[in-house]
Amino acid sequence: MSAQDQIKEIVTTNDVVLFMKGTKTMPQCGFSSRVAGVLNFMGVEYSDINVLADDEIRQGIKDYSDWPTIPQLYVKGEFVGGCDIITEMTLSGELDTMLEENGVAFDKEAADKIREANA
């Protein structure tokens, strides 16, 4: 199975997927840590894919999304964005809306706390 086929299968069989450097419990870069931290704090159930463990997946995800950087968040098979986009969406409430529209459970109070802390 090619890296592209693996990636397609991962993003279509999991509701929320974060392609990141490291894991959700041990991120290995600041940007991955920030996005995983937001998802963890908000109680979002997601699959974490450590791109450092597989060079083909690391390059493959960049080709798949046509996005040059890691981390990359996917919800219901759709590419959402990287660290800056997820940060902006969290602070604006857009991430809450997108998760709600896609039936993904999360802690609304935790999302509000993130916004309060960054106001």
Model pLDDT, residue 92: 97
For residue 31, count other CB atoms closer than 10 A to its CB: 18
In the chain, the number of structural domains is 1
Q: State the CATH number of the domain containing residue 16.
A: 3.40.30.10
pLDDT band at 1 (very low <50, low <70, confident <90, very high): confident
- pTM of the entire structure? 0.96
* Mean pLDDT of all residues belonging to the chain: 97
Which structural domain, as residue segments, surrounds residue 91?
3-117
Average pLDDT of the residues in 28-50:
98
Q: Does residue 114 register a pLDDT over 90?
A: yes
Q: Is 83 annotated as a binding residue?
A: no
**Of 113, 95, 114, the residue nearest 46 (C-alpha):** 95
